[in-house]
Amino acid sequence: MTEVGETVLFGWLILAVVMHLLWMWQKKTGRAGFVDVAWSLGTSALAIGFCVVGSGLQERRLILGVLMGLWGMRLTVHLWNRLSREKEDGRYESYRKEKGQKAADRFYMIFFQMQAVFALIFASPILVAAYTPEDAELQTLDYIGIGIWVLALLGESIADRQLENFRKNPENRGEVCRVGLWAWSRHPNYFFEWLHWFAYVAIGWHGEWRYLTLFGPIAMLLFLFKFTGIPITEKQALRSRGEKYEKYQREVSVFFPLPPKGS
């Protein structure tokens, strides 16, 4: 087995064990939402590991490691703080109520293990970038990638803060957040998270396997629109806010920030 294959297998095995232990913990506590924390932390740790063992230009691997480390730290802290303050994430709680505890536990056992696979999938563009040819010096695309990363993390941080401040106000209970970026997109945090993955496309666009870096933003878009992102979040919002959220859906873009209809 090649060095790259051994690194990937070793990283996946560690995450698989961590996810199994977390699944056992959620069976006792009913807090499945913390799997999101484990995913963000695991993805960034795996990506940093790829940067350490990569054979590409050291400066580029250092940049990639720092960017993924900061991304993972911000998202992990944000999710941890939110889950520590609140009860179980509404998405997981709704599934548990609909299917029952035993059925939910069986599903979560598979779902948690899939998070280890997903972490590997989303760390793969960094793996490709970390193995770009050592003689490929830092170029304009690398700095463009850093610029995309800064813009995306800033936008996502602002969106998260705006939503958090909105929810803290008791007067907004049952209302739909239309503050700041949330007046232009129903999911600005998701949009900037997706944009963030293009940073690694730009930084990794120097090697023979450059097209594989596109897997990050493509996979994230599919996940957001088809699996764990927008469909589940909107279903929960419609259940809790009803007609107010239906009006929000009619007037505000689902993903890309655009002027609201009628503005």
Q: CA–CA separation, 90 vs 12, rounded Å?
A: 28
Tell which residue, 133, 16, 129, has the closest CA to residue 63. 129
Rg (CA), the chain: 19
Give pLDDT, residue 144: 97
Residue 232 pLDDT: 84
Distance CA 255, CA 258 (A): 9
**DSSP label of 133:** -
Residues in the chain: 263
Q: Which two tokens stand for residue 236?
A: 């929960």
- Are 241 and 174 spatial neighbours (Cβ–Cβ below 8 Å)? yes
pTM above 0.95, yes or no: no
* Residue 192, C-beta contacts closer than 8 angstroms, at least 6 positions apart: 151, 152, 153, 155, 156, 159
CA angle 13, 24, 103 (to 5 degrees): 110
Please provide the average confidence, as pLDDT, over all residues in the chain: 88
pLDDT for 127-177, tens place per residue? 988 988 878 889 999 999 999 999 999 999 999 999 999 988 988 888 999
Average pLDDT (191-198) is 96
| Structure-block tokens of residue 132 | 């770009």
pLDDT tens string 36-49: 899 999 999 999 99
Question: Are 71 and 146 in contact, with CB atoms under 8 Å apart?
Answer: no
Q: Average pLDDT, stretch 107-117?
A: 88
**pLDDT of 210-257, one tens digit each?**
888 998 999 999 989 987 789 888 988 898 888 999 999 999 999 999
